[in-house]
Amino acid sequence: MPLKLSVSKGERFIVNGVAIRNAGDSAELVFENQAQILRQKDVLTTETATTPAARAYLALQCAYLFPDKSAHYLGHFQGYLDDFLDAAPSAQPIADEIMENVRADKLYQGLKACSRLISHEHEALSHVV
């Protein structure tokens, strides 16, 4: 099933590891086959991945965007996730969902669940004085 993506003027996104920016007016793109796509709002960088959950997300993001190196990035992801769960065992249900998607090779869905891990982390840290 094709994916229709509407992008605003200046919006950035990544397709199969290639960073793209819409230089014109808003556009609609149709992807006719399977591709690894992330919108700007869903992309973390090494500079913005400053927390344990964000580092796990970044490693999973790289595994999704660069399938030829996914084993390497998934190894890092697993380490970051394990470290996070050692510190925040309350996130285990989210981690279970993430890992279920990763094992099924549904990395995009895993990323969506991993974004909830970041929210969980933010909420937990908001109570720390």
Q: What SS3 state is found at 37? A: strand
C-alpha dihedral (74, 75, 77, 81), degrees to nearest 10:
130
Q: What SS3 state is found at 105? A: coil
104 and 79: one domain? yes
The answer to whether residue 47 is domain-embedded is no
Distance CA 98, CA 114 (A): 6
10 and 58: one domain? no
35 and 58: one domain? no
119 and 56: one domain? yes
114 and 71: one domain? yes
Lookup: tokens for 104: 């099924």
C-alpha dihedral (45, 47, 48, 54), degrees to nearest 10:
70
Distance CA 94, CA 81 (A): 11
68 and 98: one domain? yes
8 is in which domain, residue-wise?
A: 3-42
Closest CA to 98 of 83, 116, 80, 120: 116
59 and 105: one domain? yes
The answer to whether residue 106 is domain-embedded is yes
Number of structural domains, the chain? 2
pLDDT score for 14:
92
What is the mean pLDDT of each successive set of 10 residues along the chain, which is 129 residues long?
Answer: 88 91 91 90 92 95 94 96 92 97 96 95 77
The answer to whether residue 78 is domain-embedded is yes
pLDDT score for 128:
65
